Chains A and B, each alone.
Chain A
Amino acid sequence: ETGVTQSPTHLIKTRGQQVTLRCSSQSGHNTVSWYQQALGQGPQFIFQYYREEENGRGNFPPRFSGLQFPNYSSELNVNALELDDSALYLCASSFPSGRTQETQYFGPGTRLLVL
């Protein structure tokens, strides 16, 4: 186990709704990254937070937003859910030296189903 926890484990929402996913990073890690993994695909980078500020964003629309708290835990918010948002959402924490990303420690993920 990596020490990264995510909640909830599973979630069912309907199209147009909003969802908040939560992540607690591994102790001592100040960087959290979020990834979306569709079935049969590799994880796709959504964004990363470093010391409570966004530190890079992938090719996702603004309705995907996030937060990082002083204790380095993080939230991923998705507004106006679409069917294609159905996926496994992964959180990964790391402690980069400087601002260089190193090994990432993944949580178990939240499985989101949008109907």
Chain B
Amino acid sequence: SQKIEQNSEALNIQEGKTATLTCNYTNYSPAYLQWYRQDPGRGPVFLLLIRENEKEKRKERLKVTFDTTLKQSLFHITASQPADSATYLCALGAGTASKLTFGTGTRLQVTL
């Protein structure tokens, strides 16, 4: 069955450092992968989309990589700030998708 794994343990980093979050998947051939941010009690907010034929995407302090051979995506936040503290979800979609399949999310805590 399809499985998406994100580090279930919280990631604690110091302000100014780069946070790196991992998303691994099995039994899936996604056409694209998305990263969302979710704050407690709120809906997910879209951050970045990367397609299967793309290796890397950047947006301001965010960078995502996508390796379809390793079946892995890495999500980086550079110069992290306490305001970046949230849960980050990765989601996979197929070409003519009728759904997104989400991982369980990784909670990021950025401290001063």
Q: Which residues of B contact A57 (CB under 8 A)?
A: 98
From A4, A101, A111, residue with most partner B Cβ within 10 Å = A101
A108 engages B43 (CB within 8 Å): yes
Q: How far is the CA of A109 from the CA of B43 in the complex (A)?
A: 6
Closest partner residue, chain B, to A33 (CB atom): B99
Q: Which of B74-105 contact A (CB under 8 A)?
A: 89, 91, 93, 95-105
Look across to chain A and name the residue whose beta carbon is closest to the beta carbon of B42: A108
Select from chain B the residue with minimum beta-carbon distance to A41.
Answer: B104
Report the bound CA distance from A63 to B91 in whole Å: 26
Q: Are A90 and B104 in contact (CB under 8 A)?
A: no
Contact between chains at A45 and B96 (CB < 8 Å): no
Q: How large is the interface on B (under 10, 10 to 19, 20 to 34, 35 or more residues)?
A: 20 to 34
> A43–B46 contact, CB under 8 A?
no
B96 touches A99 (CB 8 A): yes
Q: Can you name the residue of chain A whose Cβ is closest to the Cβ of B34? A: A103
Q: Give Cα A46–Cα B100 distance, bound, in whole angstroms.
A: 10
Over the window 33-56 of chain B, the binary record of Cβ atoms lying under 8 Å from chain A Cβ atoms (1 yes, 0 no) is 010100001111110010000000
A48 touches B98 (CB 8 A): yes
Q: How far is the CA of A55 from the CA of B97 in the complex (A)?
A: 9
- A111 to chain B minimum Cβ distance, whole angstroms, is 8
Q: In the complex, what residue of chain A is closest to B93 when comparing beta carbons?
A: A101
B89 in complex: contacting residue of A42, A58, A92, CB < 8 Å: A42
Q: Give B105 Cβ to nearest chain A Cβ, in Å.
A: 6
Knowing that A43-B100, A56-B99, A104-B100 touch, tell me 12 more A-B residue pairs with CB under 8 angstroms.
A42-B102, A42-B103, A42-B105, A45-B100, A56-B97, A57-B98, A90-B44, A92-B43, A100-B97, A104-B46, A105-B46, A106-B43
Chain B residues proximal to chain A, CB less than 8 Å: 4, 34, 36, 41-46, 49, 89, 91, 93, 95-105
